[in-house]
């Protein structure tokens, strides 16, 4: 069974089913479920933050490397003027 819209009829049926299932859970089971959800949410936020930080670090490294490559690696060019060489 293929669904095109996530927020369609099937989504509403699943939500109502889970709502009923949650009402039938014991308080301890409900607490465990909510703790798992909170933990999963925190983990997802942490992973997003780490991914953003890693991307920023890569970008900063790439920019600094591009800027650094242009200046120090280029040898200083010395003018070869015949008058200066004669002295």
Q: What is the pLDDT, as a whole number, of residue 65?
A: 82
How many Å separate Cα 18 from the centre of its chain? Answer: 30
Count up the domains in the chain and report the number.
Answer: 1
Q: What is the pLDDT, as a whole number, of residue 3?
A: 47
43: in domain: yes
78: in domain: no
* pLDDT < 50 positions in the chain: 1-3
Residue ranges making up the domain that contains 16: 1-66
Q: Are 22 and 30 in contact (CB under 8 A)?
A: yes
37: in domain: yes
**CA atoms 10, 15, 16, 18: torsion sign:** positive
Q: What is the pLDDT, as a whole number, of residue 74?
A: 58
81: in domain: no
3-state secondary structure 22-43: HHCCCHHHHHHHHHHHHHHHHH
31: in domain: yes
22: in domain: yes
Q: What is the pLDDT, as a whole number, of residue 46?
A: 97
């Amino acid at each position: 069974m293929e669904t095109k819209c996530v927020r369609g009829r099937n989504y509403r049926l699943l939500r109502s089913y889970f709502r009923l299932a949650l009402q039938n859970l014991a308080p301890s089971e409900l607490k465990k479920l909510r703790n798992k959800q909170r933990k999963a949410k925190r983990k997802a936020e942490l992973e997003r933050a780490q991914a953003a930080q890693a991307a920023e670090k890569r970008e900063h490294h790439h920019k600094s490397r591009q800027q650094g490559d242009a200046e120090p690696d280029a040898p200083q060019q010395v003018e070869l003027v015949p008058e200066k060489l004669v002295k």
